[in-house]
Amino acid sequence: MKDIVVIGAAGGYGAPNQSCQDAPEVLRTFGFLDQLRQSGIAYRWDGIVHLQKNHADPLLSVVEMCTLLAEKTRKTLSEGSFPIVVGGDHSCAIGTWSGAKSAIGGRLGLIWIDAHMDSHTFRTSKSHAIHGMPLAALLGYGDERLTHIASPSPKLLPEDVCLIGVRSFEEDEAKLLKRLGVRVFFMEEIRRRGIDAVLEEALSIVDRETAGFGVSIDLDALDPEEEPGVGSPVPGGILKAGLSAALQRLRSEKHLLAIEVVEYNPYLDGKFATARAISDLLAAMAPSQNGPAC
C-alpha cells in the first residue's frame, strides 16, 4: 500500500486576510487529523512548508511557496507515496498540481471543489488576490511567474478538469472557463441532480484520458452555516454529510494521485466544526491501508 504523506503549506499571501496560513499548524498541534488513523489511514506529516524569505510583494511569496511545494509534491509522488496537501489559501494549488504534473509526466485530471471559480488573472481581478487565480494559472493563463512553476507548459488541459459547487464568480473568469470548455457543476445542478450523480460525471471527465487525477477541496464549497471556518464564506453550499458520503467512492479509485484541502481559517472556527470536516472528508476519500496505525 502507498504511504500517505501530509504536507502543510503555511501560505496566506494569496488572500487579503492571511489567517489561513496558520491552518496546518493548528491542525497538526491539536491533532485534528488523528481520526484518519482510526479509519485505517496511517498517515505521517512531512513537515509544514514555510517561506524562507520575506517578500514585499505577495506574488513573490506565492511563487516561493508554490515552488517549494511543487518540489515536495513531485518528490512524494515520485517515491510512490500519496500526498495530502493542507493549505494555506488556495494559491498553493499552483504548487501542488504543478508538482504532481511533473511527477506523472502524462495528462493530469483535477476535480476542483469550490464556491468560486478561481480563474482570474491580474488583468481581470480587481483585488489582485492570487487565491482567486490558481485554476487559471494551472490552465496556462496569467502571470508567467505563476504559470511557469515547475515547468513552462500548462499543467492542465481544459477537458481534464471540472469544478463542483460554484456559486460566486465574476464574468471574466466565467467567460474564460466557458471559452475553454471547462465543465462547471454549479450549486443549482448539485441541488437538482444530487452530489453523487455529479461526482460520478466529474470522475468520468478527469479519469477519461489522463494518467491520474487529483482532488482540490476549497472548504468554502461547504455550507458556512455548518462550517464557518473558511477564508471566503458564501451561503448555500454543499452539506458535509452528503459530500463525504459521495467522496467515499474515491477510496478505491486507483488513479487518484493526491488530495488537497485549503482555505481553513481557524480563527473563524470557534467550535472546530470545520477542522472536524477536514478530517471527515479526508477519512472518506484517502486510500485506506487497513494496516496498524503508526
Selected from 64, 160, 173, 218, the binder of Mn ion by CB under 5 A is: 218
User: Is there a catalytic annotation at residue 114?
Assistant: yes
Q: What is the DSSP letter of 127?
A: S
280 binds Mn ion (CB under 5 A): no
Q: How would you list the strands of the sheet with 82-87, edge to edge? A: 43-49, 4-9, 82-87, 256-262, 212-218, 108-113, 161-166, 183-186
Residue 10 φ then ψ, to 5°: -85, 70
CB distance 78 to 258 below 8 Å:
no
Name the active-site residue from 89, 118, 173, 280: 118
User: Is there a catalytic annotation at residue 90?
Assistant: yes
In the complex, what is the shortest distance from the CB of residue 8 to Mn ion, in angstroms, rounded to a whole number?
18
In the complex, what is the shortest distance from the CB of residue 102 to Mn ion, in angstroms, rounded to a whole number?
22
Give the Cα separation of 148 and 223 in Å (integer): 34
List residues bridging with 237 in a β-sheet.
none
Quick one: 218 or 280, whose CB is closer to Mn ion? 218
Quick one: 116 or 289, whose CB is closer to Mn ion? 116
Name the active-site residue from 218, 223, 260, 269: 218
Name the grid cell of 175: 467567460
User: Residue type for 16, please?
Assistant: P
Quick one: 39 or 91, whose CB is closer to Mn ion? 91
User: Is there a catalytic annotation at residue 255?
Assistant: no
114 binds Mn ion (CB under 5 A): yes
Number of DSSP helices (H) and strands (E) in the chain, helices first: 11, 8
User: With CB under 5 A as the contact rule, which of the stretches 4-12, 57-65, 192-200, 214-222 interacts with Mn ion?
Assistant: 214-222
Decide: residue 178, CB within 10 A, 0-12 exposed, 13-18 middle, 19+ buried: exposed
Give the Cα separation of 43 and 223 in Å (integer): 27
173 binds Mn ion (CB under 5 A): no
Whether the bond into 237 is cis, omega within 30 of 0:
no
Please give the radius of gyration of the chain, using alpha carbons only, rounded to the nearest integer.
Answer: 17
CB distance 115 to 168 below 8 Å:
yes
Quick one: 99 or 231, whose CB is closer to Mn ion? 231
User: Is there a catalytic annotation at residue 218?
Assistant: yes
In the complex, what is the shortest distance from the CB of residue 254 to Mn ion, in angstroms, rounded to a whole number?
27
User: With CB under 5 A as the contact rule, which of the stretches 11-19, 50-58, 88-96, 201-209 interacts with Mn ion?
Assistant: 88-96
User: Is there a catalytic annotation at residue 118?
Assistant: yes
CB distance 230 to 264 below 8 Å:
yes
CB distance 271 to 234 below 8 Å:
no
Selected from 89, 118, 227, 269, the binder of Mn ion by CB under 5 A is: 118
In the complex, what is the shortest distance from the CB of residue 84 to Mn ion, in angstroms, rounded to a whole number?
17
| Total site size for Mn ion, rule CB under 5 A | 4
User: With CB under 5 A as the contact rule, which of the stretches 12-20, 65-73, 115-123, 190-198 interacts with Mn ion?
Assistant: 115-123
Name the active-site residue from 223, 263, 269, 280: 263
Selected from 90, 107, 120, 155, the binder of Mn ion by CB under 5 A is: 90
Catalytic residue numbers, as ranges = 90, 114, 116, 118, 131, 218, 220, 263
Which residues of the chain form contacts with Mn ion (CB under 5 A)?
Answer: 90, 114, 118, 218
